[in-house]
Amino acid sequence: MRYLLLIISLVLVGLQTTSAFTAETVTLNSGNTAWILTSSVLVLFMTLPGLALFYAGLVRSRNIISTTALCYGIAAVVSIVWFVCGYSFSFSGEGKYFGNFAKLFLDGVTVKSLSGDIPEILFVVFQMTFAIITPALIVGAYVERIRFSSALIISVLWIIIVYAPVAHWVWGGGWLAKMGVMDFAGGLVVHTTAGVSAIVIVLMLGSRKRFPGGIEPPHSPILSTIGAAMLWVGWYGFNGGSALAANGNAAMAVLVTHISASAATVTWMIIDWSRHGKPGIVGMITGSIAGLATVTPASGYIGPMGGLILGVLSGGVCYYSVILIKTKFKIDDSLDVMAVHGVGGMLGTLLAGVLATEAFGGLGLGKVTVGAQTSVQIIGIISVALISLVGTYIICQIVKGLGGLRVSEKEEIAEGLDFGSHGEREYNI
């Protein structure tokens, strides 16, 4: 009898806890919702106009409209793909490798559905802004020579074939999530996929005609700086919003993000200064972006000292990666997507476990050992790199078959893609 009572009471407590837990998860928290709405604004702002300007300033002046139009056009088509199937493939169902078809056209996602304590529809929007920026990042690899239509088709296919699976693996409850991979805001999902795919596309597309000898310097460092500043500011929402709440976790993610960006800016600046005698603004902003990309996967797990370490490391590692890829390997990843985002994202993913330990002021790994966690991180990096490589290769083959990847040589060299592909010119002063 006593045992019976005990059991019953335990069950009751259990139920209560459960129901309490359930209750907590089923009420909308307006503060968290406000912050994720804001974060969605910020992440969209990173692409439009942030990234577009960052990239547009780095190309030559005859390709500025083309570069901007690529970012803009990709944002528009990917948004529609996300609504049609991207969200469902990424976040619907319990599949190990893929989402499912249940939420095609956001079927069943109503104004009242919740995801945690924010509206599910808001989670759809927030994730959409990530799906927008990721293929837009890749634009940096193939600017100044790609056919506009091909880039749009590549991006659409890429969301379905590469991005959605990876998002599912890591954030949608897939196999990597189950293994406990740590990727707070997209070191794998965003930066590793973008970086690896960038290299694949470049290898299939070829270099710009005058690469490496005849490339012009960035035509407007200031335009790029405006873009970089917007990216930096927007990253508060990118990493801070990935807490999916307005709390200490979000604030800490924002702080470490900012510290990493600052440290990487200073590091890159110092290297430039000591190598060339002068610290250029293009170097400083590139450092910032490296620091931001690198801290992304770790941002919700580490403390400010971890942010500082990642910042300094990323400033150095990405700097020399640019030289390695562009100058040594002569791969025309034109605006250094792999060297800055890919390498940064992988570096941050690799070190997320280590820097999350209390020793480095992180939030701790719970019962997992650093070694075990780091193994999972490495598995994550390799598997995500692999699917990006294979997926993007297949996509390029398809699009090549559909009509080619490049604009004509005349357009590339003589008239520029602004007029050639878009019929417009900037600077009609």
When the beta carbons of 107 and 216 are compared against another protein, the nearer one is 216
Contact 166/387 with Cβ under 8 angstroms?
yes
When the beta carbons of 13 and 382 are compared against a second copy, the nearer one is 13
- Residue type present at position 391: G
Q: How far apart are CA 91 and CA 124, in angstroms?
A: 9
When the beta carbons of 401 and 429 are compared against a second copy, the nearer one is 429
H or E stretch covering 115: strand 114-115
Q: How far apart are CA 355 and CA 86, in angstroms?
A: 32
When the beta carbons of 2 and 278 are compared against another protein, the nearer one is 278
Subset of 332-361 contacting a second copy (CB under 8 A): none
When the beta carbons of 57 and 237 are compared against another protein, the nearer one is 57
Q: Is 327 in the site for another protein (CB under 8 A)?
A: yes
Find the binder of another protein among 39, 257, 286, 373 (CB under 8 A): 286
Q: Quick one: which of 337, 398, 89, 67 has its CA closest to 197?
A: 337
Subset of 211-250 contacting a second copy (CB under 8 A): 216-223, 225-226, 229-230, 232-233, 236-237, 240, 245-250
Q: Is 111 in the site for a second copy (CB under 8 A)?
A: yes
Find the binder of another protein among 7, 216, 251, 358 (CB under 8 A): 216
When the beta carbons of 80 and 398 are compared against a second copy, the nearer one is 80
In whole angstroms, the minimum distance from the beta carbon of 44 to a second copy comes to 5
Find the binder of another protein among 182, 261, 295, 322 (CB under 8 A): 322
Find the binder of another protein among 214, 274, 366, 367 (CB under 8 A): 214
Q: Is 420 in the site for another protein (CB under 8 A)?
A: no
**Residues near 402 by beta carbon (within 8 Å), at least 6 away in sequence:** 150, 153
Cα–chain-centroid distance for residue 96?
22
When the beta carbons of 44 and 285 are compared against another protein, the nearer one is 285
Q: What are φ and ψ of residue 197, in 5° steps?
A: -65, -35
Task: Please choose which of a second copy, another protein, none residue 214 contacts, taking the beta carbon within 5 to 8 angstroms, the exact cut-off set by kind.
Answer: another protein
Report the Cα–Cα distance between both ends of the chain, in Å, rounded.
92
Strands 114-115 and 118-119: antiparallel
Q: How far apart are CA 215 and CA 36, in angstroms?
A: 41
Q: How far apart are CA 424 and CA 66, in angstroms?
A: 9
Q: x/- site string to a second copy, residues 60 to 89, per CB under 8 A?
A: xx--xx--xx--xx-xxx-xx--x------
The token pair that represents 279 in the structure block: 């610290």
Task: Please choose which of another protein, a second copy, none residue 203 contacts, taking the beta carbon within 5 to 8 angstroms, the exact cut-off set by kind.
Answer: none
Q: How far apart are CA 28 and CA 297, in angstroms?
A: 27
Find the binder of a second copy among 104, 153, 215, 282 (CB under 8 A): 282
Query: What number of chain residues touch a second copy (CB under 8 A)?
Result: 108
The token pair that represents 272 in the structure block: 């430039």
Subset of 186-215 contacting a second copy (CB under 8 A): none
CB atoms near residue 201 (< 10 Å): 26
Subset of 301-320 contacting another protein (CB under 8 A): 319
DSSP secondary structure string for all residues of 347-359: HHHHHHHHHHSGG
State the residues that interact with another protein by CB under 8 A.
212, 214-218, 272, 275-276, 278, 280, 282-283, 286, 319, 322-323, 326-327, 336, 413-414, 419, 423-425
